[in-house]
Amino acid sequence: MNQPIVFRLLVAVILTAFILHRGYYSRRFPPDARETIDRMGRNPATIAAAMLSFVALVSSVLYVFFPSLLAWASAAFPAWLRWIGLGVALAGFVLLEASQRTLGRNWSDQPRVTATQQLVTTGPYRTIRYPIYTSFLLILGALLLISANWSVGFSWIASVALDAAVRIRYRERAMTDRFGEEYIEYRKRTGSLFPRL
């Protein structure tokens, strides 16, 4: 299936913007080992998520530069649905930036608890405990619609879903240990990835 160049360019731009955004905040708030009380270690699930991310990245590069190699995974999505995917990705970037700004120095690229960490319950965190992971699902999951390619889309969705599940499991335990009853009450009134109904 011949892929219109506009959607291939959109996939490249979205992935580049995502990587640059992560790099910016990683440089702005580097982890301080002296402040770290606890951090998530590597385990089989994190390794599997990293491998899925690599598959997703390779699929995306092939889609952008050699789309004929992924023609076997093409989906017959109408153009309007693919443009909706762009809207979903943009909404994800807005949520990501709002979440990063709200967390400020409390953010860390790798899940950890620090001595100066605060429980942030404002901005997107008022209703969702993990809006950054939600934004990852929106941005990278939208690539399924934009690319109209099952290999690109499902590999990103699977890698983000697995990585988020592992990180959330760690964070729930670590935050409960750190903040106790305050975090338990916060958890009761918020959703994990989406607002509680």
pLDDT tens digits, 69-78: 999 999 999 9
pLDDT at 196 (0 to 100): 86
| pLDDT lower than 50: segments of the chain | 1
Residue 154 lies in a domain: yes
pLDDT given at position 2 = 56
Task: Give the ranges where the chain is alpha helix by DSSP (H).
Answer: 5-28, 44-65, 79-103, 131-147, 150-179, 181-189
- Res 63: pLDDT: 96
pLDDT for 28 equals 85
Residue 163 placed within a domain: yes
CA 96/CA 106 separation, integer angstroms: 15
pTM: 0.92
How many domains would you assign to the chain?
1
pLDDT at site 35: 73
What per-residue confidence (pLDDT) applies to 136?
97
Contact 70, 149 (CB under 8 A): yes
20 inside domain: yes
Q: Write down the pLDDT at residue 1.
A: 47
- CB distance 142 to 77 below 8 Å: no
197 is a domain residue: no
- Tell me which residue range forms the domain holding 180: 5-189
- Assigned domain for 114 exists: yes
CATH number of the CATH domain containing 12 = 1.20.120.1630
Q: Is residue 185 part of a domain?
A: yes
What pLDDT was estimated at residue 141?
A: 97
194 within domain boundaries: no
- pLDDT for res 124: 97
The answer to whether residue 67 is domain-embedded is yes
